[in-house]
Structure 1
Amino acid sequence: MSEKQVPNIKGNVVSGVLFGIGLMALVDEIIFHQLLQWHHFYDRSTPFIGILSDGLLNAFALFAVVLGLFMFADLNRKHNRLMATWTASFFIGLGGFQLFDGLVNHKLLQVHQVRYGVEVLPYDLGWNIAGAVLLVIGIVLMIRTRKQRQAG
């Protein structure tokens, strides 16, 4: 980035968060919905609707990953990539999606649980603690990055 160019902090944040959300959604979909077959995105209807909801989640996830990467490539092309900000945002996206899924989808809306036929508390704790750890990593990195920008 040239000295006269104003850094595109917002673009780096949006790109990183979108990529993180999309990647975590794909990890969730591929591992828990397809490989382990623990649940579908929407389990309160027929198997057809469950699989349809998985497909819609996959489409959303792929869209978020591709858009985040296109934005990243554009930032890179314009020499406006701030890797530390982007990485912090990526972790915020990962953890934000995981916590949203665990707290809103699993508990508040009850569209599905992590797993059925087992004591769900350990799964809920693992799911939400993992999301919180990723989110905290992102927030700490973002605070550190902001302090470095202000100092430099």
Structure 2
Amino acid sequence: MDASARGQGRAAVLLGVALGGFFDGILLHQILQWHHLLSDVEAAAVRDLRVQLLADGLFHLLMYLIAALALWKLWYHRIALQRRAAATTLGGGVLQGFGLWHVLDAILSHWLTGIHRVKGDAAEPLLWDLAWFAVLGVLPMVLGIWVRRKAPPTSGLGAHHAAAGLAALVVAAGAASALGPPDGAPSVVVFGPGTSAPAAFNALAQADARVLWADRTGSVWIVQRSVDEAPMALWRGGALLVGGSWSGWGCANWTMR
């Protein structure tokens, strides 16, 4: 295998790692809200929801950087897309990378450092960890190896389509990681240090937001915003984050545990 083909394979694995990270962050951190990146870190400063959201944001930033590197490597080694086996190299590499992310996440985050579990509030968290490890880690890795070694090669034209599709998928995943809740859905509003609870409440009133829940410090609020109301008044009032996920209650429930 020449250098371009090897480079293409490594780029595909990196794409898979980025997609695995986006999948984890979007589904588990934002939609289901089973955990944050640092959910099980007991330090008082880290238990602050603002720190947890910052950590999740930095995690997604890392996935953006990995994805950008992978796409650049894929473009740099684009000559390898002319090989008949290019499409299977791409597809298998992405599966390997996707599985590799979940294997590393399980070993490093769930078991060695213990910074979070897949579903920390489950009766048997280890069972969830093992199921996630097997189904989304080991299985895709084995399938990816099989695809790269055993699947019949396809034409170079198919490889170009596969590369374009993977690039579009990564861009879409990155965009989804930055989305807030739909219009009219509950929103998480986090105010910066130094913003008093009365000042935060006044900013929410100016934005015509109905308060559903607030933490003890008055810095984190779950609100129902008007469909037509932009968050500008909240940012002017000291908000650091307006949005959060498809269901703001996940963050509220986490902070109350």
Give the equivalent residue in structure 2 for 1:110.
114
Runs of at least 4 residues off by over 4 Å:
none
What are the superposed Cα offsets for residues 24-81 of structure 1, whole Å, 9 maximum, x if unpaired? 10110011001111111112122222212111110011111222123223333xx322
* Runs (5+) with no aligned partner, structure 2: 154-257
| Counterpart contact for 2:38–2:55, Cα < 8 Å | yes
> Percent same amino acid among aligned pairs?
26
**CA positional deviation for 1:9:** 2.2
Q: Which residue of structure 2 lines up, in the alignment, with residue 93 of structure 1?
A: 97
Q: How many aligned residue pairs are there?
A: 140
* TM-score normalised per structure 2: 0.50
Counterpart mapping for 1:22-101 below 5 A: 22-43=18-39, 44=41, 45-46=46-47, 47-76=49-78, 79-81=79-81, 82-101=86-105
**RCO greater where, 1 or 2, for CA within 8 Å and sep 6 or more?**
1
Displacement of 1:7: 5.7
Is the Cα contact below 8 Å between 2:5 and 2:77 reproduced in 1?
Answer: no
Counterpart residue type for residue 126 of structure 1: A
Q: Distance in 1 between matches of 2:55 and 2:132?
A: 20
State the alpha-carbon separation in 2 of the partners of residues 90 and 121 from structure 1.
27
SS for the counterpart of 2:107 is helix
Query: Which structure has more strand as a fraction of its residues?
Result: 2
More helix by share: 1
Matched, 1:138 2:144: yes
